[in-house]
Amino acid sequence: MKYTEDHEWLRVDGDVVVVGITSHASEQLGDVVFVELPEPGTSVSTGDEIVVIESVKAASDIRAPLDGEIVEVNGDVADNPAMVNEDPTGKAWFFKMKVADLSALDGMMDEAAYNEMIG
């Protein structure tokens, strides 16, 4: 997996990238009560706000980590937002995207670098 400074994880699965938030991010948010996902087919650019997460503590936006197109969303997370707290790096992925350039992942952090960043 690769990680962003915005506490997102990315996992390559064939020709798509699966995106979610890290355990650290879910712990900082507290109990997640609402998740709004993008529509499949949406074209996004790096930095676009594409997911809204609301918790008992705060509302937060997830930004597109790469340029590409949303090809699938995890409706289970929208139906059961608590999944984000229960399994943030597994079953609680947010979306899958087809990326214009997979080599863009090369500049992202690996797990060791991410763990160093969060201390």
What's the confidence (pLDDT) of residue 100? 84
What's the confidence (pLDDT) of residue 115? 96
- Closest among 91, 108, 90 to 99, alpha carbons compared: 108
Beta bridge partners of 12: 17
Q: Give the total number of structural domains in the chain.
A: 1
| pTM recorded for the entire structure | 0.94
**CATH number of the structural domain spanning residue 48:** 2.40.50.100
Q: Residue 115: inside a domain, yes or no?
A: no
Q: Residue 9: inside a domain, yes or no?
A: yes
Residue 19 backbone phi and psi in degrees, to 5 = -125, 135
What's the confidence (pLDDT) of residue 27? 93
Two tokens, residue 9:
């994880």
Q: 9-43, pLDDT tens digit by residue?
A: 999 998 899 999 999 999 999 999 999 999 999 99
Two tokens, residue 46:
């790096």
What order of strands is seen across the sheet that includes strand 43-44?
2-3, 8-13, 16-21, 95-99, 68-73, 43-44
Mean pLDDT of residues grouped by 10 in the chain (119 residues)? 96 94 94 96 96 93 95 97 96 95 93 95
CA distance 73 to 14: 16
Q: Is the dihedral of CA 101, 46, 70, 11 positive or negative?
A: positive
What's the confidence (pLDDT) of residue 71? 98
Domain interval for residue 32: 2-101
Q: Residue 88: inside a domain, yes or no?
A: yes
Q: Residue 28: inside a domain, yes or no?
A: yes
Q: Residue 38: inside a domain, yes or no?
A: yes
